[in-house]
Amino acid sequence: MNLFELTKNLMNIPSVSGDEQAVGFYLRDYLESLGWTVELQAVSANQNNVIAYLNDRPRVFLSTHIDTVPPFIAATEDDEKIYGRGACDAKGIIASQITAAEKLRAEGIADIGLLYTVEEETSSAGARSANLHPMAAKCEYLINGEPTDLDLAIGSKGTFRLKILTEGKAAHSAYPEMGESAVEKLLDILADVRRARFPNDEFFGETTVNIGTIEGGVALNVIPPRAEAGIAVRLTTPRASVEPMLEEIVKTRGTIEVLSCSEPIKMLAVEGFNQKTVRFTTDIPYLTNWGTPLLLGAGSILVAHTKDEFVLKKDLETAVELYVNLVKKLLG
Ligand SMILES: [Zn+2]
């Protein structure tokens, strides 16, 4: 099947995180029809990672995720582009990796594998399971695919997700002295968070903070008894350098609830490829047992997760060549 057909076929199987079973079965059937040995690794009752290989010593794996963000958007195309959900994040990438793997195989290179995970867009549950798979021990290099505009990403920021919760005391809003406003407490804390200067890093760049959600209060005539804000810090230094600063800001005015954290990580730099750092997080921090990580893929992260997601067809073709060259270099 050609590269663009495969991209569109994968896109047209809805696989919003949590609903990846059908696309996993499709990949298994397709890869088996090409002669690959395919394992489905159960992550939950209806979610499977897909692991494929040609022999018992796969040293380099091409990998990305099979889930997408919502909503499903069917594939459309014109001469230049393929549009729709997953065009670049990451079904076009799956198609370009499989096409590259088939080219390598046609040249007699068989020490390669494919790893496709579920739930990258939410919890990386698929990657966490994959990290426990025995195949990981055989893998020396893991080429992960995310839209990097065909550059080799040599570093990605981490993400520290947390909630700040405040409590007050409800009272009639006409008698504010009888209560204590959790919303005002939260606003004071958030003002201090915005003023804070978190440490930056020469390699990874600037640590940025997004106050993504705010909730609180019960009614206009009630002093709010509780409030909370959801915050994502894009880490350029370890969590350990940021968390104490947040604790110092919040002090006893509220509590911090950590939701998740992935540290900033460096990936392998390879000569002959354009290199850069990226701001987004991938499955890589959860695939620590899969050898040295690399990151490269067609498409732009700026259109991923939007209703206008697309990928340039020529970029998919270029990605195939880049994956072929990269695998050859890594296999020496
Ligand atoms: Zn992605």
Query: pLDDT (tens digit, 9 = 90+) per residue, 151-200?
Result: 999 999 999 999 999 999 999 999 999 999 999 999 999 999 999 999 99
CA distance 37 to 188: 58
- pLDDT value for 281: 86
User: 139: CA distance to ligand 1 center in Å?
Assistant: 21
- pLDDT value for 314: 98
User: 55: CA distance to ligand 1 center in Å?
Assistant: 28
pLDDT digits (tens, 9 = 90+) for 255-281: 999 999 999 999 999 999 999 999 888
pLDDT digits (tens, 9 = 90+) for 239-249: 999 999 999 99
Q: Name every residue whose Cβ is closer than 8 Å to that of residue 57 and which is 6 or more positions away in sequence.
A: 111, 138
Which of 120, 146, 228, 309 is flagged as catalytic?
120
Overall average pLDDT of the 113-134 stretch: 96
pLDDT digits (tens, 9 = 90+) for 300-320: 999 999 999 999 999 999 999
- pLDDT value for 273: 96
- pLDDT value for 123: 86
pLDDT digits (tens, 9 = 90+) for 215-235: 999 999 999 999 999 999 999
> What is the full DSSP assignment across 165-221?
EEE-B--BTT-GGGSB-HHHHHHHHHHHHHH-----BTTTB--EEEEEEEEE-S-TT
User: 220: CA distance to ligand 1 center in Å?
Assistant: 41
120 is known as an active-site residue:
yes
- pLDDT value for 229: 98
Helix axes 91-106, 3-11, angle to 10 degrees: 140
What Å distances lie between residue 105 and 12, 98, 162, 255, 283, CA to CA? 27, 10, 45, 55, 26
Please name the residue that has the structure tokens 């696309």: 23
Instruction: Give the whole-number percent of the chain exceeding pLDDT 70.
Output: 100
Instruction: Give me the chain's average pLDDT, please.
Output: 97
pLDDT digits (tens, 9 = 90+) for 6-41: 999 999 999 999 999 999 999 999 999 999 999 999
User: 56: CA distance to ligand 1 center in Å?
Assistant: 28
Overall average pLDDT of the 94-118 stretch: 98
CA distance 65 to 305: 14
CA dihedral 320, 326, 331, 332 (to 10 degrees): 130
Q: Name every residue whose Cβ is closer than 8 Å to that of residue 279 and which is 6 or more positions away in sequence.
A: 156, 157, 205, 208, 234, 301
- pTM, two decimal places: 0.87
